[in-house]
Amino acid sequence: MSGLRVHARLDHRGVELDVELDAGQVLAVLGPNGAGKSTLLALIAGLVRPDHGRVELDGRALTDTTTGEFLPAHARGVAMLSQQALLFPHLSVAENVAFAPRSRGENRSAAREIATRWLRDVDAEPLAGRRPSQLSGGQAQRVAIARALAADPRLLLLDEPMAALDVGSAPAVRRLLRRILREEQRTAVLVTHDVLDALALADHVIVLESGRIVERGTVREVLTTPRSDFAARMAGVNLVPGTITEPGLLRTPWGTTLSGIGDAEAGTEAVALFRPGAVAVHLEPPEHASPRNVIPVTVAELDVHGNTVRIRGADHPDGSTGPAADVTAAAVADLDLAPGQHVYFVVKTQEMELHPALAP
Ligand SMILES: Nc1ncnc2c1ncn2[C@@H]1O[C@H](COP(=O)(O)OP(=O)(O)OP(=O)(O)O)[C@@H](O)[C@H]1O
């Protein structure tokens, strides 16, 4: 059976997890602090032994408590990428990337060649002669990605790989990871606190709470119709599918055009993403709407959460989950809103992000 299977219990951490991932797929792991996300990675990487269980990759047991199997971390075919690049400070960039091929017995020039190929692949070839101390955070993370890939792993473990980067370099690293994960059909487990990472990189999501999986599904299911409290707080974003007609414009299958921020090219399948809190609700289309999006919506439901009311729109014409808006209870009273009513959701262009779509 190709892919990853984890069934493991670790009593003193209160963790019990069952995870399956097919080869070529990316699983995002979400959850609050202490939920067990890092423990899952450590179980797979061979950094901790479960009290009971089995970890299997492409049909091979990495850990099995019934047979006593426990492969050391370096023999698992698993590469880990963390928040910090963790490069060897005394080695050059090229030597860092050549380290894994050297360790598996390649001679110096072959390892060097492999390093050059991976550095080129992550657009970091000109950095080959530098020391890690001479790299920016984004550059160091690119090199760390090249180093992970040079180990020829069957599985990539990504532990919040964008979390320590500044807002300027995170999108480029995210795009790079997206290309590597998607185009090369890699199998990966990605721990993240960021909905955008899950959206851009993953096929499936699990949500952990207190050492257990409380929710699992495709990224779109979990992000648009979250069932656990945690997923609802962190996700609950509006996702509208469509096609980019020119950079910054998305056309939905039912003919609505949305303008937003993003550099996806014309013809790209994409999703528009906006937060319910970014929506202003109007009874009439505002006259001077530009540069804003005006989305006609039929109110399906009103959910009161304290002083905030979530207005859920009816499903989109293609059957996908309708958009939601969060407004104050006072605004709902002023607008005299009720299910069945026709309203307009108004969203500023800057609040609408356009991202390449997930795999179907
Ligand atoms: N090295 C350790 N030794 C003992 N217990 C640990 C260790 N690391 C984590 N734990 C415990 O295991 C549980 C799961 O923690 P874990 O670090 O896996 O969560 P997490 O979801 O990765 O959290 P965060 O988002 O804060 O990194 C918690 O109860 C934590 O206190």
**Spacing, Cα 255 to ligand 1 middle (Å):** 47
pLDDT tens-digit series, residues 28-69? 999 888 999 999 999 999 999 999 999 999 999 999 999 999
Q: Are strands 188-191 and 155-159 parallel, antiparallel or unpaired?
A: parallel
Tell me the CA distances in angstroms from 163 to 158, 159, 169, one per residue in order.
11, 9, 11
**Contact (Cβ atoms closer than 8 angstroms) between residue 157 and residue 44:** yes
Q: Which helix (H) or strand (E) holds 98?
A: helix 93-103
Residue type, 179: R
Q: Look at ligand 1, atom 3, and give the residue with the nearest C-alpha.
A: 13
Beta-carbon neighbour count of residue 305 at 10 Å? Answer: 10
Rounded CA-CA distance 18/317 in Å is 36
For residue 270, what are the contacts with CB-CB under 8 A and spacing of at least 6? Answer: 241, 242, 243, 244, 250, 262, 264, 354, 355, 356, 357
User: Is 179's pLDDT higher than 50?
Assistant: yes
User: Is 360's pLDDT higher than 50?
Assistant: no
DSSP 8-state secondary structure symbol assigned to residue 36: S
User: Is 183's pLDDT higher than 70?
Assistant: yes
Predicted local distance difference test score (pLDDT) of residue 173: 86
Predicted local distance difference test score (pLDDT) of residue 358: 58
**Spacing, Cα 34 to ligand 1 middle (Å):** 5
Burial 327-342 (b: 16+ CB within 10 A, else e): beeebbeebebeeeee
Residue 13 Cβ < 6 Å to ligand 1: yes
Residue 207 Cβ < 6 Å to ligand 1: no
User: Is 155's pLDDT higher than 50?
Assistant: yes
Average pLDDT estimate for 201-209: 92
Lowest mean pLDDT among 206-210, 226-230, 319-323: 226-230
Say which CATH class 238-278+285-356 falls into.
mainly beta
Q: Look at ligand 1, atom 28, and give the residue with the nearest C-alpha.
A: 34
Tell me the CA distances in angstroms from 223 to 33, 204, 321, one per residue in order.
19, 10, 11
Predicted local distance difference test score (pLDDT) of residue 182: 84
Predicted local distance difference test score (pLDDT) of residue 104: 86
**Contact (Cβ atoms closer than 8 angstroms) between residue 258 and residue 239:** no
Q: Which SS3 state, helix, strand or coil, does residue 186 take?
A: coil
What value does the mean pLDDT of the chain take? Answer: 89
For residue 70, what are the contacts with CB-CB under 8 A and spacing of at least 6? Answer: 46, 49, 62, 63, 64
Q: Which SS3 state, helix, strand or coil, does residue 178 take?
A: helix
Q: Which structure tokens are listed for 239?
A: 């996702």
Beta-carbon neighbour count of residue 76 at 10 Å? Answer: 20
DSSP 8-state secondary structure symbol assigned to residue 287: S
Rounded CA-CA distance 98/346 in Å is 52
Q: Look at ligand 1, atom 4, and give the residue with the nearest C-alpha.
A: 13
Rounded CA-CA distance 298/316 in Å is 10
Task: Give residue 237's pLDDT band: very low, low, confident or very high (50, 70, 90).
Answer: confident
The residue count for the chain: 360
**Spacing, Cα 13 to ligand 1 middle (Å):** 7
Q: Look at ligand 1, atom 8, and give the residue with the nearest C-alpha.
A: 39
For domain 3-234, give the CATH number. Answer: 3.40.50.300
Predicted local distance difference test score (pLDDT) of residue 292: 83
pLDDT tens-digit series, residues 268-293? 888 888 989 899 999 998 887 667 89
Average pLDDT estimate for 156-167: 87
**Spacing, Cα 233 to ligand 1 middle (Å):** 21
DSSP 8-state secondary structure symbol assigned to residue 107: -
Q: What is the dihedral of CA 309, 315, 317, 319, to 10 degrees?
A: 160
Task: Give residue 231's pLDDT band: very low, low, confident or very high (50, 70, 90).
Answer: confident
Rounded CA-CA distance 89/131 in Å is 7
Q: DSSP alpha helices (H): ranges in 184-307?
A: 195-201, 219-224, 229-234
Predicted local distance difference test score (pLDDT) of residue 290: 65
Rounded CA-CA distance 286/109 in Å is 66
Tell me the CA distances in angstroms from 5 to 55, 61, 315, one per residue in order.
6, 9, 35
Average pLDDT estimate for 69-92: 92
Task: Give residue 333's pLDDT band: very low, low, confident or very high (50, 70, 90).
Answer: confident
Average pLDDT estimate for 317-346: 87
- Break the chain into its structural domains and give their ranges: 3-234, 238-278+285-356
**Spacing, Cα 11 to ligand 1 middle (Å):** 12
Query: Best of 10, 13, 49 to mutate for ligand 1, by most ligand atoms within 8 A of CB?
Result: 13
Residue 34 Cβ < 6 Å to ligand 1: yes
Residue 31 Cβ < 6 Å to ligand 1: yes
Task: Give residue 220's pLDDT band: very low, low, confident or very high (50, 70, 90).
Answer: confident
Q: Which structure tokens are listed for 351?
A: 């609040």
Rounded CA-CA distance 10/28 in Å is 21
ipTM, interface predicted TM-score of the complex? 0.93
Residue 37 Cβ < 6 Å to ligand 1: yes
Predicted local distance difference test score (pLDDT) of residue 232: 66
Predicted local distance difference test score (pLDDT) of residue 359: 47
Task: Give residue 236's pLDDT band: very low, low, confident or very high (50, 70, 90).
Answer: low
Residue 36 Cβ < 6 Å to ligand 1: yes
